[in-house]
Amino acid sequence: MFSKDEYETDNSETEKREAEERARIMIDAAPFCTFFWDKNLRIIDCNQEAVKMFELSGKQEFIEKFAQLSPEYQPDGIPSREKGVELVGKALEEGYSRFEWMHQKLNGEPIPAEVTCIRVKHKGEFTVTEYIRDLREQRAVMAEMRKAEIAVESSKAKSDFLAKMSHEIRTPMNAILGITEIQLQDDALSQSAKDALERIYNSADLLLGIINDILDLSKIEAGKLELIPAQYDIASLIHDTVQLNMMRYESKPIEFKLDVSEKVPIMFTGDELRIKQILNNILSNAFKYTQEGSIVFSVSAESGSDNNVNLVFGISDTGQGMTAEQVRKLGSEYSRYNMEANRKTEGTGLGMNITHNLLNMMNGTIHIESSPGVGSVFTVRIPQKCTDVEPLGREMADNLMQLNLASALKIKTVQINREYMPYGSVLIVDDVESNLYVAKGLMASYGLSIDTVMSGFEAIDKIREGSVYDVIFMDHMMPKMDGIEAAKIIRSFGYTKPIVALTANALTGQSEMFFKSGFDDFISKPIDIRQLNMSLNRLVRDKYPQEVVEAARQQKGQMTGGLNLQIVDPQLAEFFLRDAKKAAAILEAIYINKCRRADDISMFIINIHAMKSALSNVGENEASAAAGKLEQAGREKDTKYILDELPTFLELLYSIVYKFEEKEEKQKEKKAEMEGDITLLKEQLKEMRAACSIYNKKAAKYLLAELKKMTWPAPAEECLGKIAGLLLHSDFDDVIKVINIYLQQIDEIPQ
């Protein structure tokens, strides 16, 4: 028999053994590596997960080879043995420690891990239980997530870069296309010059198309391309699409046929611009790859799902055709097929890829049938919401199919009927001088009163000082203050007249953005003269009474397209030039003095009145009217109006003076007489230096123009070239330095 004490002791030992056995079973069942250290930091046991994690033969191998299950050094450069002793010792002292550790298999394969050490009592002594959580899977997931993040960041960076580059590229393209259009309006151009300018224009237009393709593809890849639905009429869509493609490829011996169903409804809601882009891409390819034969463009409609109508467009050609493999790849690769045969074909090869993506966005489809050497047939179906079920009818369909395509011209500007609007006024805001030049040139034939400024700050100052314009054309992207911010500030003054954004950045959803920011419209840069013409007609002409518009039309007819030097008496022209230059010099001086001298106002009235009459005598009615307004301001002693408007008037006056300069023969005689006249050159340069010292850019530019009419030795020509570049950016101090250096060089030359 056991005594009570012996029974309790035996029972206690049994419970301890059972508890230890339960703990061992639980540890062996743990899903992560677990093992034990004794107080001397020797491993006394481990679980099966430890054996499995390090791919060992058993627990004994784990205990014996544990030192080999860590690299010699941890990632932070500390020896593993030294660092391990410290961290396990910390757990023995403080009861707990957690840290990251780099383990390894016996073959050297790394195992990143999270280690947790907990102090526990075992057989009456403190030991450490260590738990190792394998981080390989977690690190792999995190690495994949980071890759995805990097891909998204990269895509965004690429899209942002292309958007910015689009603006940077479009700015010089605006100048190229705009200046070319301006020059093509000159009827005096020789045919060879017109041909050369047309080639420049068409090449620049092609380059702009490539830029647009790259930008669209970037937006598609980034998921940022948006459809902007609006109501449109199908007849205009067909007309515009056909005319554009015929203008591009009218020189090819191809018969073009248009087949329009009379049953097609007249009005739809959808993204007309993107539908045109789809059709233009397919038609463009048909024309590119068809050298002879015919191209047929058909338009019909069929019932669709969800009360929609499927627009069905068919484009067939007798061109090169494609194999089944080429058809399969079409739209999935960024390149043209049969590169050897088509190496001279214009374009990027991105068009069909963009077409497929746009159709997917519209829930549309495309079906292609093609045979090499025979041709291709493209059938496009696009579901659209029908907003007017009335059909086109036979008459409208016939009119569309009988378009006089042969009369389509390559340069679109000649198709524009520009209204003469001397009653209108506009302000152009752009930080690039060449853009201002282009915009002014494109609007010159309208007879508008045009002001220009080179920043949003200057535009705000104009409005704050009371200036009012029929339209403000505001560049979207400018340094320090962009067009959107400037427009908001102008609107905060209560200014209600139209503001139109000029944007070289073809952003998605831009119409909504501009309208919310206080703009009434926007025009893409390079400026499309058709868009500009529509804006001017809508925002200027249509806002004035009909009698004012009719009077301007009659005035234009009387002017026969502007000043005609041939009908002005030569002696009258001579008198006008002499009077204008004299008056301009006096008016310049009055402006420089800011009307502060006692007799400035009286002298101003006398000279501006003289110019009003002189300008009227030579047919410059617009400038004469401007002089009349200034004369009235002088009589009312309105110096603010005089100082605001006089620079613009002087610029206009100088431009008229230039038009009256002697013809080529007299200019040549003058050049011959004055060639090499260093004394004159020195005098003119000194006058220019004086003008620059008081920041009088107009006077300096006038003197420079006078000097450049003459022939000078190479060093002088080089000097004038430097001055022209510096004046362009208003670097007056540098102009003075260049003049001083050159005058010193002249003085050192023996006379």
Rounded (10°) angle between helices 456-464 and 483-492: 10
Mean pLDDT of 469-473: 93
Three-state SS at 605: helix
Q: Who has greater pLDDT, 77 or 661?
A: 77
Nearest Cα to Cα of residue 248 among 213, 288, 212, 214: 288
Find the largest Cα–Cα distance for the chain.
Answer: 152
Mean pLDDT of 593-620: 79
pTM strictly above 0.85 = no
**345 pLDDT tier (thresholds 50, 70, 90):** very low
For residue 118, what are the contacts with CB-CB under 8 A and spacing of at least 6? 91, 95, 96, 128, 129, 131
Give the dihedral sign, CA 519/524/525/529. negative
Q: Which amino acid is at 219?
A: K
**13 pLDDT tier (thresholds 50, 70, 90):** low
Under a CB-based contact definition with an 8 Å cutoff, are residues 609 and 628 in contact? no
**149 pLDDT tier (thresholds 50, 70, 90):** confident
Give the dihedral sign, CA 482/488/492/497. positive
Mean pLDDT of 75-104: 91
Residue 711: CB atoms within 10 Å? 13
- Tell me the chain's radius of gyration from C-alpha atoms: 41
Under a CB-based contact definition with an 8 Å cutoff, are residues 72 and 89 in contact? no
Q: What was the pLDDT predicted at 221? A: 58
Q: What was the pLDDT predicted at 665? A: 43
Q: What was the pLDDT predicted at 426? A: 93
Mean pLDDT of 479-506: 84
Could you identify the residue written with the tokens 């206690």?
A: 12
Q: What was the pLDDT predicted at 152? A: 76
Q: Is the pLDDT of residue 571 over 60?
A: no
Burial of 724 (0-12, 13-18, 19+ CB in 10 A): middle
Q: What was the pLDDT predicted at 219? A: 60
Q: What was the pLDDT predicted at 583? A: 85
What is the spatial distance between Cα 157 and Cα 218, in angstroms, rounded to a whole number? 10
For residue 513, what are the contacts with CB-CB under 8 A and spacing of at least 6? 484, 507
Q: Is the pLDDT of residue 123 over 80?
A: no
Q: Is the pLDDT of residue 255 over 70?
A: yes
Q: What is the pLDDT of the chain when averaged over all its residues?
A: 78
Six-digit token string for 211: 């830029």
Q: What was the pLDDT predicted at 546? A: 87
**476 pLDDT tier (thresholds 50, 70, 90):** confident
Nearest Cα to Cα of residue 481 among 430, 445, 522, 554: 430
Task: Please write the tens of the pLDDT for every residue from 228-241.
Answer: 788 888 887 887 77
Q: Who has greater pLDDT, 575 or 57?
A: 57
Six-digit token string for 455: 């920043």
What is the spatial distance between Cα 700 and Cα 564, in angstroms, rounded to a whole number? 28
Three-state SS at 57: coil
What is the spatial distance between Cα 527 and Cα 533, in angstroms, rounded to a whole number? 10
